[in-house]
Each structure stands twice: as structure tokens, then as C-alpha cells.
Amino acid sequence: MTDKEAKLRDKSVTDKVKGKINEAVGKTRSALGDMTDNGSEHVKGKYQEMKGKVQQKKGEVEEDLADDLSVSRDRDDD
């Protein structure tokens, strides 16, 4: 594994974990906004939830890119 692949994999894990956290916090915040009839808090929670989903997708793309780099490197070695 090259240094570039390792960095991409580390970044991928970080983004996926942060994304899960943001998604969970956003869902909670949105639900709290609903319970307290606070529309602003509901919207902020939904925004944070979507931000988390985007972070997770970014992490998945980084992981796929690292996999592609690895496969490409392996093919070049043949």
C-alpha cells in the first residue's frame, strides 16, 4: 500500500465516522425541534443530518478511489 492509498483510507474512515455522528446528532436535534415546536431547530437538525450523509458518501468515494489506486498499482506490477 502506498502512502497516498493509506492517507485516502484514513481520510475515508474519518469522514465516515464524522458523517455518522453528524447524522445522528442531526436526527436528534430535528426530533428535539419537533418536540418543542421549534421550527428553526428542526431545520438545523435536518441540515446537520444531510451534512452527515454527504460526509459518509465522501468517505465512500475516498475508499473507492483508494481501492482503484491499489488495483491500478497491482495491474502495473504484472
The rounded distance, in Å, linking the Cα atoms of 67 and 8 is 9
Question: Is the pLDDT higher at 70 or at 44?
Answer: 44
The rounded distance, in Å, linking the Cα atoms of 15 and 35 is 30
The radius of gyration of the chain from alpha carbons, rounded to an integer in Å, stands at 18
Instruction: Check if the beta carbon of residue 26 is closer than 8 Å to that of residue 66.
Output: no
Enter the pTM of the model: 0.84
Looking at the 3D structure of the chain, how many domains does it have? 1
pLDDT in tens, 18-54: 999 999 999 999 999 999 999 999 999 999 999 999 9
The pLDDT of residue 77: 65
The residue range of the domain holding 38 is 3-77
